[in-house]
Amino acid sequence: MSKLAIFGGEPIRKKPFQYLPDYDEKEEKAVMDVFRTRVLSGFHKSYRTGGPKVMEFEDKFSKYHNMNYAVAFNSGTAALHAGLVALGVTKGDEVIVPSYTFTATASSVLMCNAIPIFCDVNKDTFNVNTENIRSLITKKTKAIIPVHLVGNPCDMGPIIEIANEYNIKILEDCAQSPGAKYKGKLVGTIGDIGAFSFVETKNMVTGEGGMIITNNSDYNDICRLVRSHGEILVSGGRSYLSKILGWNYRMTEFEAAIGIEQLKKLESLNKYRILNTQYLDKGINFDGISKLKIPNQSYSVAHVCPLLFDENKVGVTRDVFLKALNAEGIEADKGYPHPLYMNPIFLNNDEGKYYKGMNPIAEDLCSKSAIWIRKIMYPNNFEDMQDIINGFTKVMENVDSLKSLEN
């Protein structure tokens, strides 16, 4: 047994893992073509639709999903916010969100002056616990945002059932899961609106960017208003009449041009992460470290490789295990460090509520059970994955020696 790097031994890996957005000369040409047209945005000419590349990206994105409408934004957060406005979420309304997700899922609710109601998640899927949703519904509940986290689709069946029963709208947060499927249906096409992010860490990227898809023409209209200062159209030019409160959430032509190329290869972009994850799944096989469940008939796009850590079985805490793993040069982390409701922006509420203990599973994942391996993306390959497996193996073989690090 070789000595663990944390105790001065040779680390398994000495070079850092890389992350490079996965694009090639096709995106480069698309960007240069835009550059030469000198249409960098196009919205000043066509306030509702944007420039030709934005229109083309929207058209292709909606067709890929077999939906009537798509509206591009300059971020996934903007897409979520506009989606909520379109669904009629306003002051005092309640929106049910999982507490184990990225801040924007819930802060977009605050942007509507509405109240995020935090729902716990399942330990073995990281996704919203559909059984808990019902108990959170009140007269004020307007919408629910299921988040297809880490590339894994939520169990949408029960969510749709509840939404129909109580007349609640569904905004799917697909930021981490473009191309994922639930029972053969692409995520984002199941609820009322689907929202996506193309920030450069996501499965398909435009640098910054987002999109909503919907079949509802009113939602499409409202999203377009929210995107551009709420300004209504008049024939013959700009109206400068703001009908509703809007922002500048517009996507540039460069981003749209990159998005068009990325969409063409979305399936292979996803496959890259899926193959690396499958390689890891085969090699990381230890008592106390398990994989998540992909619900039946679902297709995950492996945004990251998530694992569940059982400190009782392994014999040390997750954080000590990760410290030893990181010392071996292996990049893995604990994922979200706290449930969203522990963020100061949510703690600072009128009633002075302190939420600790509210969602025990989310707290368990954050404090001791979740491990995220993110470096499954391009250009990391099977050799890099093998280093990760070797790192896990070495730390597991020496796990008893880590007990001295527990306080």
Ligand X SMILES: Cc1ncc(COP(=O)(O)O)c(C=O)c1O
Q: Which residues bind ligand X (CB under 6 A)?
A: 75-77, 101-102, 104-105, 147, 173, 175-176, 197, 199, 210
CB closer to ligand X out of 196 and 272:
196
CB closer to ligand X out of 175 and 388:
175
Q: Give the nearest distance from C-beta 241 to ligand X in angstroms.
A: 28
Q: In whole angstroms, how far apart are CA 224 and each of 43, 69, 144?
A: 11, 11, 22
Assigned token pair, 241: 């009449």
What is the full DSSP assignment across 23-83?
Answer: --HHHHHHHHHHHHHT-S--TTT-TTT--HHHHHHHHHHHHHTT-SEEEEESSHHHHHHHH
CB closer to ligand X out of 194 and 246:
194
Q: Give the nearest distance from C-beta 104 to ligand X in angstroms.
A: 4
CB closer to ligand X out of 111 and 405:
111
Phi, then psi, of 70 in degrees rounded to 5 = -140, 140
Q: Give the nearest distance from C-beta 125 to ligand X in angstroms.
A: 14
Q: Give the nearest distance from C-beta 144 to ligand X in angstroms.
A: 14
Q: Give the nearest distance from C-beta 187 to ligand X in angstroms.
A: 12
CB closer to ligand X out of 175 and 257:
175
Q: Give the nearest distance from C-beta 175 to ligand X in angstroms.
A: 3
> Scanning the structure block, which residue is given the tokens 């819930």?
106
**Which residue's C-beta sits nearest to ligand X?**
76
All residues at 6 or more sequence positions from 173 whose CB lies less than 8 Å from its CB, including other chains: 80, 101, 105, 145, 146, 147, 148, 195
Residues 199 and 19: their CA atoms lie apart, in Å, by 13
Catalytic residue ranges: 202
Phi, then psi, of 316 in degrees rounded to 5 = -135, 165
CB closer to ligand X out of 251 and 330:
251
Instruction: Tell me the sheet residues that pair with 181.
Output: 186, 299
Assigned token pair, 366: 């954050």
Helix, strand, or coil here: 240?
coil
